[in-house]
Amino acid sequence: MTEVTAPLAPPPELRFRRRIGSLGAVRAVWRSRELVRTLAERELRARYKQALLGLAWALITPLALMVVFSLFFNRVARVDTGGVPYPLFSYLGLLPWTFFSTSVSQGGQSLIQNIPLLNKVAFPREVFPMASVAVAGLDSAVALVALGGLFVVYAFIPQPTSAWVPLLLLVQVAFTLGVTLIVSAVVVYLRDLRHALPVLLQIALFATPVAYGIDFIPGSIRTLYVVLNPLAAVIDGYRRTVLLGLGPDWNLLVPATISAFAVLVLGYLLFKRMEAGFADVA
Amino acid sequence: MSRRGEIVADRVWKRFRADRRRMLLRDELQRLGARLRRRGTTGWRWALRDITFGAEPGSSIGLIGANGSGKTTLLKILSQVMYPYAGRVEVDGRVGALIEVRQGIHPDLTGRENVYITGSLLGLRRKEVAQRFDEIVEFAELEDAIDRQVKFYSSGMQMRLGFAVAAFLEPDVLLVDEALAVGDAAFQQKCLERMRAVLASGTTLVFVSHDFAAVEATCSRGIWLRQGVIEGDGPVREVLSSYRRSIEEAAEAAFHVGGVIRLVKAEVVGPRDGPAATDGSLDVRLVVESHEARSARVFLGVSEGPATPIFVLRRDVQLGSGQTEVRCSMASLPLPRGRYYLWVGVFDAPSGGELLDWHPATRFDVTGPDLDQVPLGIARLAPVHVRASWEVG
């Protein structure tokens, strides 16, 4: 009954290798754009079907933090905002931060929350973290409304140098997507990390110049700092261009951009590598 | 060049970790510590070994085998959800897979939203899904429920939705994994009909089921997996019968009969003391031994496999102390050619308490005509030979 005629192990030359060409990868992602949209819609619908406050949630998170920062942090630390009202200063930092933290916390869990799908249907798995990032982007768009409100309240006009914003946005999205891809894939294999995620993000919030300015970081380590945390340069860039009417600080933005795209590329490769085993452990 | 709907599996191997590891950081750290102290064992278990087969577009394969023989793993590799450890797999075209009942169904969304999501997972555009939407709803018999959240569906409704989506979105390859068991009999029949229609339109079907009749009705070819190895590959009837024989032998060996009384002899005799034959007489001779005289109820049954009997006969008898012979004669045996099992059970007459377990006592072969084949897509329940004459004109 138990005798089996096949050999006990496959010859090594048979080993299955998955080849992912960079062009093929881009094409696969492009082909699944509709899927990303559908999944993002699903996430939004499922969310707002239950939450009565609906889209308001997207506003509440950054606004609440802004109020807390203004009431407590600013009193204690006396942040140098370069003459800009502190609520505006901190809210502009909270927008990219909220985008990043929502993406990482939602997208990081997107794979394990969709394990039934991972197990059954074949499609590029990166659509889940990508959909989470897309949803976080929509939240950010909603949160922009409050930014407009703050400009009105403080009778402040965005500077013409705001034209740099699209470039900063690109760096912000690249870094966020890269981190989200890595976290989502690693969490599949190390599921208890998901419980550590909120704490890590909380620490990261205070390690990033959101409540304070980048001049808080000693100038000698500032380059290293933005390489490790490109968001710092992005947030600083937004404040300089939108609020202060200055150009971006290229000494910081260039290394941050390189680092952000390196994270994206490495994150994607890591994700693709780990993807092959998702169904085995799901 | 490969064609749409073609399947090629070439020396496919797949292994899993033998330990049931949890995917947790703290467990990994423990294991790492154990390995550093050279105490860890990282065992692997082969789920599939050297699987090679090909399927032409439009062919239908029934995948059979015991639980844990690798059927679902093979389906997952074919659907490209899982990757093999070694070997090569090529499946050409769009793959529709119904591997579990709630395939990709999101409980918080409505049936309608789920149809669209599954559609885009299968690589269809919204427009293409919209074209088939009404058909899907009609087939799944959901009507108004399609706009209700799926978490309020019964498991039957979820299964119907899953099957309808997989079968109506026109896949080139359809993989179905014993999901039909959830539906009621009428819907199962509908599914089989739909699979036949899908086959007729040129889709390749791989069907995993423990329902032999359904496999026989739907598939022309059978592949039998045993412990991750292909044990048989050929016309579905031949593969099914050799698989059936192997489980019968295993079941027989595993039977331990206890009870108050003992079956000394069980014999099945056909016409003129020869082998059993279709439409011939059949004598069953039992000898049972009891310590005391008692009234008992004797059951006889005949089955094709180790499962449910085709028919059962019952008689209340008076057993003496010591051995008693019980004979049962049937005038005409309504079974076609094949191998059958005689089941015996003895129960206390008024109380129904068990005196001798219901168990397969012996097997016998019947000579005679084969059963006429059923049309494709129709499942018959049990083999019964009916003498019939035809007139045409």
> Which residue in B11, B22, B82 is closest to A14 by CB distance?
B11
pLDDT at B162: 81
Does residue A240 lie within any of the structural domains? yes
Q: Closest residue of A to B119, CA-based? A: A35
Using CB atoms and an 8 Å cut-off, which of residues 209-248 of chain B contact chain A? 226-227, 229
pLDDT at B248: 74
Spell out which residues of chain A touch residue B103, defining contact as CB-CB under 8 Å.
116, 120-121
pLDDT at A169: 96
> Is B106–A42 a contact, with Cβ atoms under 8 angstroms apart?
yes
Question: Tell me: the pLDDT tens digits for B109-145?
Answer: 788 888 887 787 777 788 888 888 988 888 888 888 8
- Asked whether the beta carbons of B94 and B79 are under 8 A apart, the reply is no
Does residue A4 lie within any of the structural domains? no
User: Can you list the domains of chain B with their CATH numbers?
Assistant: 51-250 (3.40.50.300), 256-367 (2.70.50.60)
State how far Cα A84 lies from the chain centre.
Answer: 27
pLDDT at A52: 55
Q: Is B291 an interface residue toward A (CB < 8 Å)?
A: no
pLDDT at A18: 73
DSSP letter (8 states) at residue B374:
P
Residues near B44 by Cβ (< 8 Å), separated by ≥ 6? B15, B16, B17, B18
Q: Is B148 an interface residue toward A (CB < 8 Å)?
A: no
pLDDT at B62: 93
Does residue A36 lie within any of the structural domains? yes
> Is B25–A190 a contact, with Cβ atoms under 8 angstroms apart?
yes
Question: Tell me: the pLDDT tens digits for A171-188?
Answer: 999 999 999 999 999 999
CA–CA distance, A247 with A257 (Å, rounded to integer): 15
- Asked whether the beta carbons of B263 and B257 are under 8 A apart, the reply is yes
Q: Closest residue of B to A33, CA-based? A: B120
> Is A118–B81 a contact, with Cβ atoms under 8 angstroms apart?
yes
Q: What is the pLDDT along chain B (393 residues), one digit of tens a residue?
A: 457 888 999 899 998 877 666 777 777 777 777 777 765 556 778 889 999 999 999 899 999 998 888 898 999 899 888 889 888 898 888 888 777 655 556 777 788 888 887 787 777 788 888 888 988 888 888 888 888 888 888 878 888 888 888 778 778 888 888 766 666 778 878 888 888 888 888 899 999 988 888 888 888 899 999 988 999 999 998 898 888 888 777 766 666 556 678 888 888 999 888 889 999 999 999 998 888 888 899 999 998 866 678 899 999 999 888 889 999 999 999 998 888 889 998 988 888 788 888 888 888 999 988 888 777 667 677 788 888 888 987
Does residue A124 lie within any of the structural domains? yes
- Residue A47 buriedness (CB in 10 A; 0-12 / 13-18 / 19+): middle
Strands B204-208, B60-64: pairing is parallel
pLDDT above 60 for A128: yes
> Is A4–B103 a contact, with Cβ atoms under 8 angstroms apart?
no
Phi (first) and psi of residue A54, to 5 degrees: 55, -130
> Is B120–A2 a contact, with Cβ atoms under 8 angstroms apart?
no
State how far Cα A48 lies from the chain centre.
Answer: 21
pLDDT at B182: 65
Spell out which residues of chain A touch residue B23, defining contact as CB-CB under 8 Å.
188-191, 281
- Asked whether the beta carbons of B44 and B15 are under 8 A apart, the reply is yes
CA–CA distance, A197 with A109 (Å, rounded to integer): 10
Q: Which of B89, B120, B149 to mutate to test the interface with A (most CBs of A within 10 A)?
A: B120
Task: Record the tokens describing residue A40, joined without a space.
Answer: 């993002």
> Is A281–B23 a contact, with Cβ atoms under 8 angstroms apart?
yes
Does residue A10 lie within any of the structural domains? no
Residue A198, CB half-sphere, CA atoms under 13 Å: how many? 1
Please state the domain count of chain A. Answer: 1
Tell me the residues of A at the B interface, defined by beta carbons under 8 Å apart. Answer: 1-2, 4-11, 14-16, 18, 31, 34-35, 38-39, 42, 45-46, 49-50, 116-123, 188-193, 276-277, 279-281
User: Minimal Cα–Cα distance from B278 to chain A, Å?
Assistant: 32
> Is A118–B103 a contact, with Cβ atoms under 8 angstroms apart?
no
Spell out which residues of chain A touch residue B108, defining contact as CB-CB under 8 Å.
46, 49-50
> Is A116–B25 a contact, with Cβ atoms under 8 angstroms apart?
no
At B48, is the secondary structure helix, strand, or coil? strand
Q: A3: pLDDT confidence band, cut at 50, 70 and 90?
A: very low
User: Minimal Cα–Cα distance from B104 to chain A, Å?
Assistant: 5
Residues near B372 by Cβ (< 8 Å), separated by ≥ 6? none
Q: Closest residue of A to B115, CA-based? A: A38
pLDDT at B1: 45
A218: number of Cβ within 10 Å: 8
Q: Is B117 an interface residue toward A (CB < 8 Å)?
A: yes
pLDDT at A2: 43
Return the exposure string of B70-106: e unless at least 16 CB atoms fall within 10 Å of the residue's CB, then b: bbbbbbbbbbbbbbbbbbebebbbbbbbbbbbbbbbb
Mean pLDDT of chain A: 86
> Is B76–A119 a contact, with Cβ atoms under 8 angstroms apart?
yes
Q: Which helix (H) or strand (E) holds A63?
A: helix A56-68
More confident residue, B47 or A80: B47
> Which residue in B24, B79, B226 is closest to A191 by CB distance?
B24
What does pTM read for this prediction?
A: 0.77
> Is A4–B102 a contact, with Cβ atoms under 8 angstroms apart?
no
SS3 content of chain B, % helix, strand, coil (to 5): 30, 35, 35
pLDDT at A49: 63
A239: number of Cβ within 10 Å: 22
Does residue A6 lie within any of the structural domains? no
Does residue A66 lie within any of the structural domains? yes
Does residue A17 lie within any of the structural domains? no
pLDDT above 90 for A199: yes
Q: Which amino acid is at A135?
A: V
Task: Record the tokens describing residue B213, joined without a space.
Answer: 């009749």
Question: Tell me: the pLDDT tens digits for A40-71?
Answer: 887 777 776 655 566 777 788 888 998 988 88
Determine the structural domain holding residue A175 and report its residue range.
Answer: 24-275
pLDDT above 80 for A9: no
